[in-house]
Structure 1
Amino acid sequence: MKPSWQFIGSIADVIVHCPFQLFYLRIMTSYSASSSLPHERVQPQSLVDQIASRLANDIVTGVYSPGERLKEQEIALRFGTSRAPLREAFRVLEREGLIEIFPWRGVCVIRHSLEEIRELFEIRADLLAICVQRITEDGSPEKIAAVSEEIGKLIELTEAGRDERAYKQQTATISTLTSSLAGNRYLHAMVTDFRQKLLWYYCFLGQSTVERRRESNRLWQAMLEAMQRGDAWAAAKAARQVTLSTAQFALQIAEAAEKLKET
């Protein structure tokens, strides 16, 4: 008996709050800001939000790794600000699940356990499958054409030899597109939530070779072909496999890193 993606989708329909929506809006608007400059003074207006956005961008793009300590004095000097707004920004990031604040010990980027990473990937895979199923069942040629266009760009990036970051940005575009086309704002918020939680692991522990990207592209293409022929079940199954294939490789690298630390 085939599992019902609609049943899982009904869970998404009743979720009415997603604290990571604001994070996602901030991170997308600040993504282009450079984090490599030695001194990045921010403007007085919305100072706390600006600092939080810059730090969030640094965390999810790998400037700071999971478990790494954030040095308050160093960051305050970098942004040309006092410690008071920086501490407020830390509290914002703590609420958004990006950092942990330890009394008398400082601030660290949050580190998920391997089991937590595995579970997050599984839910993210299910959510992508729900989005793809809904788009396929809707049958809108325009929506399916939009997905086709973005998958085409992904293949072009791979064959043109573009770097890992460009590839990851395009897969993020596809994920955002499918959730926005699914026709359910709460489902879209949930996809955003789980994508944020996994972004570091996805970007830095995912397909790291051209051959693995091509393998991933074949899964994206299989998903698209199922959507084009109106097979919602096959499309959802392929969509789920896209994420799970990335998860498998990411967890292998993460587990190897954990074992290396133990030796």
Structure 2
Amino acid sequence: MRSVRANGIRISFDEAGSGAPLLLLHGFSLDRTMWDAQVEALARSYRLIVPDLRGLGATENPGVQISIEQMADDAAGLLMALDIPAAAVAGFSMGGYVLAQMAVRHPLKVRAAAFVCTRAGADNEEQQKARLANMRFIDDEGSEAFASKFVPMLFSSAYLASGAGGPGKHRRAIASQLPRNLCALLDAMRQREDMTPRLGEIRVPCAVVAGEKDQLVPVQAMRELHEGLADSAFDVIEGSGHMAPVEAPDRVSFALDQLMQRAGMWM
């Protein structure tokens, strides 16, 4: 793990491989290790940059509040600190919200975009209330209790029943996060911009990857994201829950590799 200063904070990240750069942005409450399978598969062909997002893992959050726009600026600042003019960027779930903002705020930094199990729309009233309820739960019960509540929503029932190690690994990651940062990130997602009207501004090659059994982002929401993009390939992974990079690592890695080739970023 390395760290650099960017956008006023110290960002921790892993780096592997060489070649065209691919920046991987993880989801809410998780850390960079959710991309481990993709790093292993793709580092033979590309330069992987895998940060912990602001307030999660080993990356600091010196403030009280966090915004999606701020995290997009963090990601662009990380590339700048590493002297990378532009990269392909993949964003999972909350990382997809960050990617959408990055693509419109820093268009010259994004050469290709992969949206994995995420959506373009803002929270509706019901979803906003659910965020507030989770903030209260974390305030009252802490990160470990939240991890036990949240992890079953991340995976398909079949994957949970399989005895695979992913749920336990990521439950521990969530349990280790600071409650105040989890609450700040929930509030950031609650207040995020509806990016649907701005998808047309994203002119680079895109991939949209959905999990058929995703409990948090339905396939229809991902289809709408795909349809709003000018140049997008759409893939639904049969049987996968929200954590497609963990449940179906080969399919997600293949989609990212195909995007890199479409964008002319193949070695």
Q: What is the TM-score with the length of structure 1 in the denominator?
A: 0.28
Structure number, greater radius of gyration:
1
Select the structure that is richer in strand: 2
Name the structure, 1 or 2, with higher relative contact order (CA <8 Å, separation 6+): 1
Select the structure that is richer in helix: 1
Q: What is the TM-score with the length of structure 2 in the denominator?
A: 0.28
